[in-house]
């Protein structure tokens, strides 16, 4: 499918309706996407074109497909001088028609790649039933590099057709291809922020995203993903911004929620059952500052700092969630609001830091929490003191009337004989794991957040995990797998990529490649957080064409929150200048989340089960 070019500068985000005056627009546009449009309940979309104000930006709502893919225009508006807009459209009356938001600037600079972004909003009938949509009740109203990348991956894996796109299918795409979407989004943002230029003429950024998705080996294949390497190739192999941009996306309060799960607006059900909870979390500042996402044309070097607070385990035993979605704590350290599965949170830690965070909430399988319903929280935000972008992984654990929190069951997927049960297809392809070990794949996209060695951020690492002998559920042993994930070659249009030698090891273990994890105990008991101290990550040796780079090893404490899709490696004092590193994990049994345990009767779950 040929993409048309619609230029755009930077990212767009839709803000609350109060930001602009509603303008009623309705009608039919050209192009394909499902035939005539008949009237339905008018639905409003309100917001602004931001990063820096985008004067005169065109916002278009389409049905059937994104605008560049032949979607039918059902309403559009030109943003004001500050990028503000509000548009009301008549959605198609037919049930199940996918609806998209598109954004375009008046023109691209001479010689620049025309830029365009798109976002999937949901199905026409469900959206019409709500009536008014903002980022407070539908996070994917953000039109961003992440949503553009997600739609490109969906198209590449569904024969360039959006006919079967549903919220469940979109959520499954996010789950299966999360790390591919992250890499493509970074490439789109690198071009949109004028940080990097495609090595050859590209008709638009949506074409760039689609071409990377179509030409890369994606995460669900039985070989290592090459998406980041392919993205780097399209940008000439020397886009040093890619690692910092990926780190920024993972820890940004608007981008990060777009990477996880779908949106409960389809079922209109609060994701967390009201009650008492314990919050167990890992807070990890990055060396990337918020300005990397807000200043046009900024460079990673100008928006990073050489230091970041060490990653910390944060526990609050006094969390209350009420039926209106208000989140409070008895010690006044945590407060926030929950709408559907979008959680906005303020956290005050024991060191005087105040974090403003935004995250998606998913239900953990009850097998992992002693049969009780616990929730995984994944997102990002900022330290309000210095604007450092901050990753936030957490679990909300139910607390019984007597004050005891549900205990984790880290060995839930191991049988008495030691064999893992229900190994997911996403774990396939990792070689060298013995019977009774669970295969985990780490994508090293953001190991070097300062972006000084773009090639170092490429590659994957395969690990085999099993409960430690003699420990029923409170300890893991992890060993490096003998896997093709840890060594592979890629040749794309003359751009050669070779990777070998990545490993994790721990001081005091009898042989290299062994890491023992235990439940965190400092500053308070956090049994849903696994911690491993004195861990060394040896990055791969990368060869690109004639250049060979051996990255600098990182030694420190590693943290993993049950259900999350990343491990945080916080360097010891000897290597603090590298900042906290984020190791992305490909989907596996431990991160099989559903949007809500309460909406399983609403028809909003993917047919494949939890995603």
Q: What is the pLDDT of residues 590-601, one digit of tens each?
A: 888 887 654 433
Q: What is the pLDDT of residues 7-31, one digit of tens each?
A: 332 333 333 222 222 222 223 333 3
Looking at residue 130, what is its pLDDT?
78
Q: What is the pLDDT of residues 408-460, one digit of tens each?
A: 988 887 755 554 544 433 444 566 677 777 778 787 766 543 233 333 334 67
Looking at residue 308, what is its pLDDT?
87
| Interatomic CA distance for residues 542 and 250, integer angstroms | 24
What number of helices (H) and strands (E) belong to the chain? Answer: 8, 28
Looking at residue 418, what is its pLDDT?
53
For the four alpha carbons of 437, 442, 448 and 452, in that order, the dihedral sign comes to positive
pLDDT over 70 at 52, yes or no: no
Q: Give the per-residue SS3 of 487-522.
A: EEEEEECCEEEEEECCEEEECCCCCCCEEEEEEECC
Q: Which two tokens stand for residue 197?
A: 């230029």
Mean pLDDT of 47-76: 78
**φ, ψ of residue 605 in degrees (nearest 5):** -95, 145
Q: What is the pLDDT of residues 337-358, one digit of tens each?
A: 998 888 999 999 989 999 999 9
Where along the chain do the CATH 2.40.128 domains lie?
275-398
Looking at residue 597, what is its pLDDT?
52
Q: Which of 17, 15, 83 is nearest to 44 (CA)?
A: 17
Residue 184, H or E segment: helix 178-192
Whether 581 and 447 have beta carbons less than 8 Å apart is answered as: yes
116/225: higher pLDDT: 116
Looking at residue 85, what is its pLDDT?
66
Give start and end residues of each alpha helix (H) in 445-588. Answer: none
Q: What CATH number has the domain spanning 275-398?
A: 2.40.128
Looking at residue 335, what is its pLDDT?
98
Q: What is the pLDDT of residues 548-581, one digit of tens each?
A: 656 678 899 999 999 999 999 999 875 556 688 8
| Interatomic CA distance for residues 56 and 106, integer angstroms | 7
Among the residue ranges 212-216, 421-425, 583-587, the one predicted with the least confidence is: 421-425
Looking at residue 430, what is its pLDDT?
65
pLDDT over 50 at 380, yes or no: yes
Q: Provide the mean pLDDT of the chain.
A: 77
Give start and end residues of each alpha helix (H) in 285-381. Answer: none
CA 196 to chain CA centroid, nearest Å: 22
């Amino acid at each position: 499918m040929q993409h048309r070019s619609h230029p755009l500068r930077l990212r767009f985000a839709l803000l609350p309706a109060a930001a602009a005056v509603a303008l009623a627009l309705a009608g039919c546009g050209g192009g394909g996407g499902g035939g005539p449009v008949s009237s339905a309940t008018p639905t409003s979309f309100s917001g602004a074109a931001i990063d820096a104000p985008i004067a005169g930006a065109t916002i278009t709502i389409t049905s059937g497909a994104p605008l560049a893919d032949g979607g039918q225009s059902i309403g559009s508006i030109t943003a004001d001088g500050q990028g503000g807009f509000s548009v009301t459209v008549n959605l198609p009356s037919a049930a199940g028609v996918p609806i998209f938001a598109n954004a375009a600037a008046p023109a691209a600079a001479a010689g620049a790649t025309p830029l365009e972004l798109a976002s999937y909003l949901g199905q026409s009938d469900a959206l019409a039933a709500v009536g008014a949509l903002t980022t407070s009740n539908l996070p994917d109203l953000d039109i961003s590099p992440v949503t553009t990348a997600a739609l490109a991956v969906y198209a590449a894996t569904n024969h360039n057709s959006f006919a079967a796109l549903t919220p469940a299918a979109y959520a499954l795409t996010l789950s299966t291809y999360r790390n591919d979407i992250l890499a493509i989004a970074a490439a789109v943002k690198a071009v949109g922020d004028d940080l990097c230029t495609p090595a050859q003429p590209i008709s638009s950024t949506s074409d760039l995203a689609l071409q990377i998705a179509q030409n890369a080996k994606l995460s669900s294949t039985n070989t290592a993903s090459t998406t980041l390497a392919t993205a780097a190739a399209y940008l000439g192999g020397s886009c040093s911004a890619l690692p910092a941009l990926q780190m920024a996306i993972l820890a940004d309060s608007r981008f990060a929620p777009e990477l996880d799960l779908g949106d409960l607006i389809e079922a209109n059900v609060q994701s967390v059952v009201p009650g008492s909870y314990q919050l167990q979390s890992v807070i990890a500042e990055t060396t990337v500052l918020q300005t990397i996402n807000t200043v046009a044309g900024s460079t990673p070097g100008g928006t990073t700092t050489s230091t970041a607070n060490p990653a910390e385990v944060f526990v609050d035993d006094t969390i209350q969630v009420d039926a209106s979605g208000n989140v409070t704590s008895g010690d006044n350290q945590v407060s926030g609001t929950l709408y559907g599965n979008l959680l906005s949170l303020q956290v005050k830690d024991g060191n005087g830091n105040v974090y403003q965070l935004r995250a998606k909430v998913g239900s953990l399988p009850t097998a992992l929490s002693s049969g009780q319903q616990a929730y995984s929280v994944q997102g990002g935000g900022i330290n309000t003191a210095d604007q450092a972008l901050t990753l936030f992984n957490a679990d909300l654990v139910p607390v019984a009337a007597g004050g005891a929190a549900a205990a984790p069951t880290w060995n839930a997927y191991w049988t008495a004989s030691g064999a893992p049960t229900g190994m997911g297809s996403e774990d396939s392809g990792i070689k060298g794991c013995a019977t009774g070990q669970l295969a985990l794949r780490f994508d090293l996209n953001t190991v070097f957040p300062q972006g000084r060695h773009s090639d170092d951020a490429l590659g994957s690492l395969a690990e085999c995990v099993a409960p430690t002998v003699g420990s029923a559920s409170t300890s893991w042993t992890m060993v490096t797998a003998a896997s093709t994930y840890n060594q592979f070659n890629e040749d794309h249009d003359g751009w050669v990529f070779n990777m070998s030698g990545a490993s994790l090891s721990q001081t005091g273990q009898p042989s290299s490649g062994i890491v023992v994890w235990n439940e965190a105990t400092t500053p308070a008991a956090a049994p849903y957080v696994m911690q491993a101290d004195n861990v060394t990550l040896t990055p791969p040796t990368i060869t690109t064409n004639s250049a060979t780079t051996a990255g600098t090893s990182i030694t420190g404490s590693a943290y993993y929150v049950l259900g999350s899709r990343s491990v945080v490696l916080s360097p010891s004092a000897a290597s603090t200048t590298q900042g906290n590193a984020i190791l992305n994990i490909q989907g596996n049994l431990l991160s099989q989340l559903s949007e809500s345990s309460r909406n399983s009767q609403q028809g909003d779950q993917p047919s494949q089960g939890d995603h």
